[in-house]
Amino acid sequence: MPLVVRTWNVYHGRTSPAGGRTYLERMIDLVTADRPDVVALQEVPVWALGRLERRSGMAARWSVTVPALLVAPLARIVTAISPARMRSLVTGQANVLLVAKGLKLHRQEVLVLNPSVGRWDWLRRGAQRRVCQAVEIEDADGRRVTFANLHATNNPKSAPIEVARAAKFVSDAALCVLCGDFNVKGLRVESFTPPLPGIDQILVRGLDFERPPEAWPKERRREGKVLLSDHAPVEAVIA
């Protein structure tokens, strides 16, 4: 059976251009409304992690990249006061995989892509830990596909190195989806399908696309006069 797969850097629920409020719940509703099979998210605030399954109706697996400075209710309130200044400073952030309830989840493994950066280095020097979370998912046909969700460093020299580390991390997976925010445009990854021109990608190995990756048009994520996130979701259908 085909799998509808999406990836989205939700930008802590912020908008483009920046506004005075956040829309994380609206984003989760939007990206899961038509019951996709797998949704990879980046920059999810830590306060939201425990609410994702109830909100989306999907199973959730996550890996915290930046720890939260404040407990969840207080972090959310403080961030709402100034979303532009407070996003990861107090709320922390995580990578998340949302998986349809009809699919079977197996083990999750996590690789730190920049091991020289500790969990609290963001507080000391503004550096963020970046990870690749890999989850093996079994579909209705019994196929086991490894989904690797990464968010690389926003640095054109470091990002390709980190993406290569993520690809090596899942090199033993015959059927693999490598997706997320690569933070470098049009990066080709050996043994995977060609990339989109942008930085948000869905690449596959050992699989075929029924519909190749494509970014959502702006109108699909428009909320009044703003766009939800400064990234567009990318969507593909795997045959």
Q: How confident is the model over 78-120, as pLDDT tens digits?
A: 555 555 554 555 678 999 999 999 999 999 999 999 999 877 7
Q: Residues 80, 128: contact at Cβ < 8 Å? A: no
What CA–CA distance (Å, rounded) separates 84 from 19?
A: 8
Query: In terms of residue numbers, what domain contains 194?
Result: 3-238
DSSP helix/strand/coil, 218: helix
pLDDT averaged over the chain?
A: 91
Contact partners, residue 149, CB within 8 Å, separation at least 6: 7, 40, 41, 42, 95, 96, 97, 132, 133, 134, 135, 179, 180
Number of domains in the chain: 1
The CATH number for 122's domain is: 3.60.10.10
Q: Could you give the maximum distance between any two Cα atoms of the chain, in Å? A: 48
pLDDT for 66: 87
What CA–CA distance (Å, rounded) separates 50 from 63?
A: 12
Tokens read off for 218: 């702006």
Q: How confident is the model over 12-36, as pLDDT tens digits?
A: 999 999 888 899 999 999 999 999 9
